[in-house]
Structure 1
Amino acid sequence: MENGKYRWVNDLSLILLIICFWGCSSSEEKKDTDTISKEEKLLLENGDIIYRHGNGIFSGYFVSTSQKEQLYSHAGIISIKGDSIYVIHSEASEFTGIGGVRKETLQTFLKDISTWGVYRLDTTMVVRDSVALVASNYLNKNISFDFDFNSLNDDKIYCTELIALSINKAASRQLIEAKGKLGSKTYFAVDDTYMIPQMKKIISHHSENKQSN
């Protein structure tokens, strides 16, 4: 009788554990996919540029350096492999200062983000594929993050510089120019990279209460 009782308790505990695990997993999955819908994912193409207003310490500052539209603080390049969607971007840790060109899933890039948008270079698919390819080449070279924000070379690269370099090299012309001010430096501000005639908006999500990178 006692053995039967303990077995029933163990079986009940196992059932509760499975229910809890399923519930937690479902909630986490929902949280990861809430930011972008399935319909919006279908709109994405290789080489698209994705922007976000981050929640970090310096996001508000980088937003303020844009001269025309102060909306986003960070950007990356969409890279699609089969059914998987990734974002290639240059980022450094606010705490360790370590970072560089990296690739992560779209869900990770947009985690806890409420203000974001996707823009597309108005050109052929061949050129847009080349944008993603240039970014991938920088990724494969393990290029470090450029804390000097030097726009004159690509030995190190900051986030919007990756966008500008990838687009300019793919298009074989200077579509994006550095006009933003970072102290005494002229650098590629976020709005420099998308507020050009050759870029068109594909998706836009704006939050009334923007938080700061």
Structure 2
Amino acid sequence: MKRKLKFIFLYFGIFLFTLWGAFQLFFWIDTQEEKKQVIKDTYLERLSPSQEKLLQEGDIILRRGYGFFSDIIAQRLNDDTFDVTHSGILYRKNNQWWVIHSLSSDVSPIDGMQEQPLGTFLKYSTPKKILIVRPKHITPTEGKEVVKKALYYLHQKIPFDHIGTIDDPSALYCSELIYQILDNDLHLISFPTEKKERKDTFYTMKTLYDPSFFEIIINTYPEK
């Protein structure tokens, strides 16, 4: 009996290892395809100089990324107008625009909180699929407070939230970072408090361009 159980555990372990390997291989292939697309589109303009002049610290940048998982997010977490898949917070560093955001180690060398020059962040965006949004009625001073909180989570090296537990800042996915700062930390936006409605609000990209909460400052999507 003990020998039989050992074989069962052995085969189960091999199965899990094979499944994990296949999962990692899929991510690797998807990442390689993304890199090819990034190189192909490198010299295509994402934001014009005149558009960049409209930016304020604390603005939210939304992009449509490349790859299979971006396709899933684009289809399932958006409406018929936009198909954004990733978000970050804009701020000024060394007189340049930078983005603070959170990415999974499945698609990034760093798991969780990280920062990038805006130009680098934009390279991973599908051209003509970018939104810049701003919390309604926010002041420039409040925008700087948003940046301070984002820098705090960055310096704390908060990991990516792979499980999707909202209202827990010990791990944050990209849009959760924004909800955490604007609602729980700074109380600049009051999102729904009822459990199911709150989850429905946080488990979608649509909230980030919902006119009830945000104003669209820049929209590079082609007019339909």
Fold agreement, TM-score > 0.5? yes
User: Which residue number corresponds to residue 150 of structure 2?
Assistant: 135
Higher helix share: 2
Aligned equivalent of 2:98, options 74, 79, 86: 86
Judging changes above 3 Å, is the alpha-carbon distance between structure 1 residues 172 and 95 closer, same or farther for their aligned structure 2 residues?
Answer: closer
Query: Counterpart amino acid of 1:43?
Result: L
Structure 2 CA distance for aligned equivalents of residues 205 and 129 of structure 1: 25
Aligned equivalent of 1:73, options 85, 104, 108: 85
Unaligned segments of structure 1, at least 5 residues = 1-27, 181-185, 209-213
User: Which deviates the most, 154-163 or 65-74?
Assistant: 65-74
- Which runs of structure 2 are paired with 1:1-213 in the superposition (5 Å)? 31=42, 34-66=45-77, 68=79, 70-94=82-106, 99-113=111-125, 114=127, 115-122=129-136, 123-169=138-184, 171-172=186-187, 174-177=189-192, 178-180=198-200, 187-206=202-221
Consecutive aligned runs of 4 or more in structure 1 exceeding 4 Å deviation? 30-33, 67-70, 95-98
Structure 1 CA distance for aligned equivalents of residues 135 and 115 of structure 2: 21
Structure 2 CA distance for aligned equivalents of residues 57 and 93 of structure 1: 16
Query: Are the aligned partners of 1:120 and 1:199 in contact in 2 as well (CA < 8 Å)?
Result: yes
Structure 1 CA distance for aligned equivalents of residues 211 and 185 of structure 2: 16
- The structure showing larger relative contact order (alpha-carbon pairs under 8 Å, at least 6 residues apart) is 1
Structure 1 CA distance for aligned equivalents of residues 57 and 202 of structure 2: 26
Higher strand share: 1
**Any idea what the Cα deviations from partners look like across 1:144-196, whole Å, max 9, x if unmatched?**
0010011131111111101111211454255335444xxxxx84311123314
Look at both structures and tell me which one has the larger radius of gyration over its CA atoms. Answer: 1
**What's the secondary structure of 2:92's corresponding residue?**
strand
What is the TM-score of this pair, normalised by structure 1?
0.72
Tell me how large the CA RMSD over aligned residues is.
2.7
- Percent identity (aligned): 27
How many aligned positions are there?
175
Q: CA deviation at 1:31?
A: 4.4
Structure 1 CA distance for aligned equivalents of residues 206 and 84 of structure 2: 8
Structure 2 CA distance for aligned equivalents of residues 112 and 152 of structure 1: 28
